[in-house]
Structure 1
Amino acid sequence: MTVRLAVHPALRFSLAVAVAAACVTMSGCASIGAATGAVAGIATGAVTTNPAIGLGVGIAVQAATDEAVKRVSKSLHTDQQVAIAAAAGVSAVGETRPWKVKHTLPIENGHGDVRVLREFDNALASCKEFAFSVADGDDANAHAEWFVASACKQTEGWKWASAEPAVERWGNLQ
């Protein structure tokens, strides 16, 4: 004997969202894209009663969310690179200056020091090689990691010119 309950579509949608949210939080999901994709897919599948549509929507939402997160993250990393390059640009060889980025939202803020190691010219621009630190916190005694990079003078100011030293810190978000 099979028992079927008539469930209102709005209640089915709410239940699907709640189940998806519970699954995501219990599984320790590290990706916001996966979480939003799962919620959207389950909710769409429940509302349309078609799992294939739910799967398609879930995959699309996950891809769009992952891309948006990458884009925002790249923009925030660029802010740090601009601040570091600007500090290096106004510094003389051997001089050390602080750099700092503080966003409205407390994500990807950073600070440290920039020390210009050498200045050189190439066929296209005047450039500086520098070492920069990134502090792990706001404490005065916070641990700082040091990296080496280059910046070159362009018409709109000093711009980050090297990708290799930043790969370790920022991944492939150059």
Structure 2
Amino acid sequence: MTLRLKLAGWTLGLSLSVLGSGCASVGAASGAAAGMLSGLASANPAVGIGVGIAVQAVTDEAVNRYMKMMHSDQQAVIATLAGSLAVGQAKPWQVKHTLPIENGRGQVRVTRAFSSALALCKEFVFSVAQSAKPDAPEAWYTASACRQQGGNGWKWASAEPAVLRWGNLQ
């Protein structure tokens, strides 16, 4: 077996092990694998470095957009539910995606409704279950939603929560 094939096999194995460790490392693993393989194929380390950096950047952006879309789904469900509730009412919320990533569930309770010349808004507290288990502990957060002009439903109106669990939610 040639040195190139051994290195390619090692790179593939390393990449697969890193991919299994979570979404945050997907870009680094794919960049490393693409850089190593293109460097081996071209016999030019500069080409490998350039390809590796480009692949990592593209992969990171794709993963970030996908995760933002998943969080946006959760926000939309919670905001719509809060908009349908009266002050003091509570109901459960749940999101199930086709891929089992960023599914969520919890409770929403409206605490206050207020209006201005611009919009009708509601403040609410919502919980997020820490796992899929039925008896999982829930963490509670506060947010607000406002009714969109023209009857386009309720939209998340809070600034980005300063909570690690929600990350770059908005």
- CA deviations 1:24-83 (Å, max 9, x no partner) are 438x78511000000000000000111100100000000000000000000000000001
Q: Distance between the aligned counterparts of 2:26 and 2:132, measured in 1?
A: 27
Using the size of structure 2 for normalisation, the TM-score is: 0.88
CA contact (8 A) 1:116 1:129 kept: yes
Q: Name the aligned partner's letter for residue 28 of structure 2.
A: A
CA contact (8 A) 2:115 2:121 kept: yes
What corresponds to 2:135 in structure 1? 141
SS of the equivalent of 1:22 reads helix
Higher Rg of the two aligned structures: 1
Q: Name the aligned partner's letter for residue 17 of structure 1.
A: A
Residue in structure 1 matching 2:58, options 37, 46, 64: 64
Aligned residue pairs, count? 164
Could you list the runs of 5+ residues in structure 1 that have no partner in the other structure?
none
* 4+ residue runs over 6 A deviation: none
Work out whether 1:104 is the aligned partner of 2:98. yes
RMSD: 2.1
When residues 150 and 124 of structure 1 are mapped into structure 2, their CA distance, relative to the original with a 3 A threshold, is same
Residue in structure 1 matching 2:168, options 163, 169, 172: 172
Residue in structure 1 matching 2:13, options 22, 27, 40: 22
Could you list the runs of 5+ residues in structure 2 that have no partner in the other structure?
none
Work out whether 1:119 is the aligned partner of 2:113. yes
When residues 17 and 124 of structure 1 are mapped into structure 2, their CA distance, relative to the original with a 3 A threshold, is farther
Query: 1:142 offset after TM fit, Å?
Result: 1.3
More divergent stretch after superposition (133-142 vs 105-114): 133-142
Query: 1:157 offset after TM fit, Å?
Result: 0.5
CA contact (8 A) 1:133 1:144 kept: yes
When residues 171 and 139 of structure 1 are mapped into structure 2, their CA distance, relative to the original with a 3 A threshold, is closer
Query: 1:172 offset after TM fit, Å?
Result: 2.5
Using the size of structure 1 for normalisation, the TM-score is: 0.86
Q: Name the aligned partner's letter for residue 18 of structure 1.
A: G
| Identity in percent | 58
